[in-house]
Structure 1
Amino acid sequence: MLKGFQSLGVNVKTIEENQMKTGDEIIVTTKMKWKELSAANPALIIPGPSDTSTALTTDVEVNGDDPLLKHVDFEKVFVEKAGSIGLKELDTAAQSGSVPLIQKGEMNGAKMVVLNLHLTDTDFPLHPGFPIFLHNAYQYLSEDGGFIGYFQPGEERTVPLATGDWDIYSGDDEFIKKSDQGDWFKAPLTPGVYQAVQGDVTKYFSVVLDDREKKPGGEAFSLEPTEDKGEEERKTIPHNLSSWFLVLAILILFIEWEVYRRGNRV
């Protein structure tokens, strides 16, 4: 789960319950741990190790076109067992019979997403829709903090920020730079989650790599020979030409010998 968020460029860190405070970023925790927290933060709730499981006997059903499950194809996911988190205060996005599997909504003034299944009891992580679900959940939960979007490194575009200076911080609260918000906003070069702060207003955004940049490229090459290889290439060219001249000479000798041999027959 945490590695899935890291693949989206999200800065993931582990903290103790007593270190949590309102205003921190999204938390991923269990229902029992969430109840013990005093801070009202956006949260993704997953079953704890001691949660009882319910064997499922009916197919997975998805309710309408919920943005949380957009492009996820969750109805194709196999779920053997479900947890016991079900919260009546939340809306159910997917269920099996009467058992809720994915829920979302607000509690204590903060947004929440519930994934009511152990990842060991489903093939969901193996589906291409799993990282899409994490992306949708992160975007939904980030709206509480004023999420302004995803950027590629160094990308420039217009964003819904008030004019004036904004201080840009990393996910670790390290000051990065001061941004003068005019017509264009320029993202940092390093992937990760960032905060744009102006007075008491905080906005969040993520810098992620393009899919093509995540794949290792082929070996670079240059048409212009380097100094180290230049001498070698200059020697190779005459050698190749001499080989062709040798082949041509042998061919001419063969033709002349054939003409001479036929002449002797006559």
Structure 2
Amino acid sequence: MGIENWGWIWTAIMPLAVILYYFFRKKYKDQPISSTLFWQETMKEIQASPYLKKLQHHLLFYIQLAALLLCVLGLLQPYFNSDTLEGNEFIFVVDTSATMLAGSPSHFEQQKEKMAGLLQQTGGKPVTIVKTGQSPEVLVRDERDLEVLEQAIEQLQISYETAQMEQTLLFAETLVDNESTVIHVFTDALDRTALAGKTDQVYVVHGIGEPLRNVSIRQFGLAETDGGMRAIVQVVNESSEPMSGTLHLSNGETEKESAIKLEPKEEILAPVEGLPTGKLWEAALEVDDDYNADNAMASYVQQPIDAIFIDSSLHELVASGFSSLDMKVTSLAPDQLANQKGAPIVTNQTELLAGDAPVLLMGRNDETASEAAGQIETTDHPLFTYAALEEVYVSHLYPAFKNYETIASIDGKPFIQVSPEGDLIVLADIQSTDWPLSPSFPLFLWSAVNELAGSESFLGFFQPNEHRSVALASTSGEWEIFKDSNYMASYLEGEGPFIAPAEPGIYDVTSGSESLKMIVQLSIEEKTLETGAAYQIGQAASEEETVRFSLVPGILLFILILLMAEWEVYRRGIALR
């Protein structure tokens, strides 16, 4: 603790003057009264407690003296020092993925409290706050005002999408201005290997090592059988203790439930037979665990596609891949494909993209391919849920289509795209890759067929905040998104990609009399909890090792309380006279 302004020490003369005033003030003596005119007033004075009267006079003196001494102390501007955070600038990277909702209080609330506490130790140095996600977002940049920073932290909300921490940290590094900048990462868990190569930057990871119980619904599938609908629910117990609960299946009209019990780290497939016919079903798990976001999942029964038309000019491995899926494959000459309907078309003719039938374009007949090199990078698209492409080699790529969404790329060049109408484009000939040798090839074809199948009443499966090109057309050109009859957002046709809501669940997408169902569901990564640790990598220099906190605001508040107490003592003293 210290004093900032000793020049005001002369004001200590004021409390000394008050003391002298009490020493030399006029004293009153008892005076006998010969008349009975003032007898009642005299009796009141005699009956009053002399000790209370004396105490009141002394208490008033002590309060006045204390208030004056505090005024002198306030003018001297006392303060105390506290250690500051290491570094001269700070970047707060905040994990807003769904797993941060785990725990009670949630990991997200715990990290928000920790951030608010660290702000008090920044000493007025600039702070930048970055939110994780597929597209990292800067909430505030180089802000010094504590009130603005505290408000930004208070307004943080869970986005439910995968954190994409590696991508977010690369983005945060582009905001670093000097070597003394420290990046604080607020998450539930971040492995040290993710920061192994970042030796030129200082990182402070605030992980949470609290072990939690979690039972999740990983997959939920439906199929039509002769005896009605059949559901299969994959349930996983991540906890280190046995867990039991109840599995509920509902289509809005019918509900069926079954009891489940899982041993530690056990995974089960729970089949439910004899469900009534219905397109949309929701599975909900009633269990006493510490993470509820992965306890529900919805599924929609789409009309299966068992036939497909393939351009005979394509490599025979394409037809073999579809044949392995037990599909009816019809090979047609290129000039016979334009009039085909009722099934998807697999071709390299770009002019067929303007037709009514869904198209899987593999290669291009209107461009020349150029050499390509590098690893395939994919986005969080349902097409790659089961088909991983990281090990696939591609030697040549065709030029990309403009204004098409890119969902896979090689060294920054588009590899797989989605058209605004929902057609799929693979910008490579199959013979230019080793893809058919990979198990992901038939899985990709199966996912592509399901993606092209679509439905007149179902828009599709989305991940939280997913940006996707969708085939929506209405007379008004505007679509509204509702959840449980509550308005959520609007989408204007042609005004950029369709953006899915953040919170998982079942949504209605309507325009006039048209209505489509849409399902938003968590990714697999957000259904797995991890425990982390707090650690630091690197060390940064600081211009100041301590931050100064003034005691003047607290002193002023205490003076105000003393003044109120002084008035009350004075009022009571007057009343007893």
TM-score by length of structure 2 reads 0.23
Quick check: which has more Rg, 1 or 2? Answer: 2
TM-score by length of structure 1 reads 0.47
Q: Using CA pairs under 8 Å that are at least 6 residues apart, name the structure with larger relative contact order, 1 or 2.
A: 2
